[in-house]
Structure 1
Amino acid sequence: MRLWHEALIEKLPRAQLLGQHRECCALRGKGWAKKHSTVNYVFNYSPYKLFQYHLEVMNEMKIRGYHPDESWFDPLYRGQKCEAYLELKKITQTLPIYPEHNESYLESCRENLKEKGIII
């Protein structure tokens, strides 16, 4: 489980981009607040931030001709197996979306991809 640094989203190969979409879906659904060392920081923030991040992933998918389920474009949606949020306070998007996505994290993500044979 990993959320790639958002500066890499538009550069991710197909498999990693689609995997990131699945990861976001899982985290927005039943995976919310289930601890995992690489994504624990996500749970320190409103689920709306995860929606913002997921939106970046889905927009890139659309650019590449993929068709993510339109339901995920609703910030309240949590998948077919979770009740939707009744409300989520809209948060102004920051850059980066998560403060943890700093230069050090960017380099860590690049190294992780490099280990997989992907040079970005």
Structure 2
Amino acid sequence: MRLWHHSLLNVLPKSQLLAQWRELNSIFAKEDRHILINYIYDYSKDDLFAYTQLVLHEMRARSINIRTIDKMERYFGDGSNEKVAHPFIHHHNEEYFEICYFNLKEKFMRGQKDFDAERYEALTKLYEAMG
């Protein structure tokens, strides 16, 4: 379980983006605990809401069908969420970006079927721009 660095959402292969939505829904339903996501509970729900909106935006941009948002709506309740420009600001930093980058690089190197050269090139350009 991982919440990818928010800056990488637009270069994630489709399978990672879909898995991200499944993981978010699992958090909404059960408040899952996992070593790679426990940090989210140190932030207000506003951060998770902002991150979720970024994921939904990317899914819509790729015309990915979002069947239901009922778990999300229940989790965030009254809808009075504050705007957060940089979700999980202390965790989604340069070091975490690099960790996520190398995780994705390995997926490409190992031949993940939906990770084409064009998407990998976009990932690499983003990484180089961060450095």
Instruction: Name the TM tier (shorter chain).
Output: 0.7 to 0.9
Amino acid in the other structure paired with 1:53: Y
SS in 2 for 1:77: helix
In structure 1, C-alpha distance between the alignment counterparts of 2:7 and 2:96, rounded to whole Å: 11
User: 1:43-62 CA distances to partner (integer Å, 9 max, x unpaired)?
Assistant: 11222321221111111111
If you compute each CA radius of gyration, which structure gives the higher value, 1 or 2?
2
Q: 2:88 aligns with which of 76, 94, 98?
A: 98
Task: List runs of 5+ in structure 1 lacking aligned partners.
Answer: 79-83
Contact kept? 2:17, 2:55, Cα under 8 Å: yes
CA contact (8 A) 1:42 1:50 kept: yes
Q: Which has the higher contact order (CA 8 A, sep 6+)?
A: 2
Which amino acid is the alignment partner of residue 74 of structure 2?
A: Y
Q: How many Å apart are 1:102 and its aligned residue? A: 0.4
Report % sequence identity. Answer: 35
Give the counterpart letter for 1:48 in structure 2.
D
Paired with 1:76 and 1:64, the residues of 2 have a C-alpha distance of 22
Rounded to whole Å, the distance in 2 between the matches of 1:23 and 1:43 is 15
TM-score if structure 2 supplies the norm length? 0.73
Q: Distance between the aligned counterparts of 1:19 and 1:71, measured in 2?
A: 15
Displacement of 1:35? 2.4
TM-score by length of 1: 0.79
Indicate the RMSD between aligned Cα atoms, in angstroms: 2.1
The answer to whether residue 112 in structure 2 is matched with residue 112 in structure 1 is no
Q: Structure 2: which 5+ residue stretches go unaligned?
A: 109-114, 124-131
Hey, which of these two has a bigger chunk of helix by percent? Answer: 2
Indicate the larger mover: 46-55 or 34-43.
Answer: 46-55
User: 1:89, CA displacement in angstroms?
Assistant: 4.5
CA apart distance, 1:69:
3.2
1:77 Cα offset (Å): 2.2
Deviations 1:48-85 (A, max 9, x none): 3212211111111111111213535x86424xxxxx74
The aligned length equals: 110
